[in-house]
Amino acid sequence: MSAAKPESGTAERRYDPAAVARVLATTGEKLIELLTEETGLLRASKTAEIAALAAEKNRLSQVFSAGWRHFQTAPGELEAMEPQVRGELTAVAMRLERAAAENAEVLRVGQRAAELVLAAVSRALEAQRPRPTYTAGRTVPAPAQQRAGLGFNRSA
């Protein structure tokens, strides 16, 4: 069997848009479940369990993004498919948007809480740090072994 050649001036369609939409909807459902689970773990401060979800979250996000780009580059395909399939995909996309927004908000709140705790610890350490002693002739620095430092990597 040989593959039919596309007519001149038309692009060969590699995938059935309805099949892509169904895969996208299924992937979106899995991603919603994972984001919901992660949001719950964030609220419970279970960071070890959150890390275990990262690889699957990234994989599902990449699959969903690739499928969604397919429809962004060919918007007529989405409008041309069955209303039921289009409606299912649209509903999943809306739920995914809400789940992602809720997850992002919980992440922001958690990050801000961590920053506040670290700032309080930093202030407490600073308050306990010995100050240099001033005398009539010179300044005597605090002994080196009593100095403390604190760093926070905000890039992550």
pLDDT tens, residue by residue, 87-101: 999 999 999 999 999
Structure tokens at 39: 């949001």
pLDDT at 24 > cutoff 90: yes
Confidence of residue 25 (pLDDT cuts 50, 70, 90): very high
Measuring CA to CA, which residue among 96, 76, 82 is closest to residue 27?
Answer: 96
Q: How confident is the model at residue 150 (pLDDT cuts 50, 70, 90)?
A: low
Average pLDDT over residues 65-84: 86
Domain boundaries, the chain: 17-104
Residue 59 confidence (pLDDT) above 90: yes
Tell me the pLDDT tens digit for each residue of 122-139.
888 888 877 766 666 676
* Res 52 pLDDT > 80: yes
- Tell me: pLDDT of 6 over 50: no
Report pTM: 0.69
Token match 């409606």: residue? 87
14, pLDDT greater than 80: no
Please say whether the beta carbons of 60 and 34 come within 8 A: yes
**For residues 142 and 132, what is the distance between their CA atoms, to the nearest angstrom?**
5
The number of beta carbons lying within 10 Å of the beta carbon of residue 21 is 24
Mean pLDDT across the stretch 99-112?
A: 93
Q: What is the pLDDT of residue 16?
A: 84
Cα 145 from Cα 49, distance rounded (Å): 38
139: β partners: 134
How confident is the model at residue 141, as a pLDDT? 62
- pLDDT over 70 at 155, yes or no: no
CA distances for 24 relative to 31, 66, 96, 108, 155, angstroms: 10, 9, 11, 28, 32
Instruction: Give dist(CA 78, CA 62) in Å, integer.
Output: 20
pLDDT of 3 > 60? The answer is: no
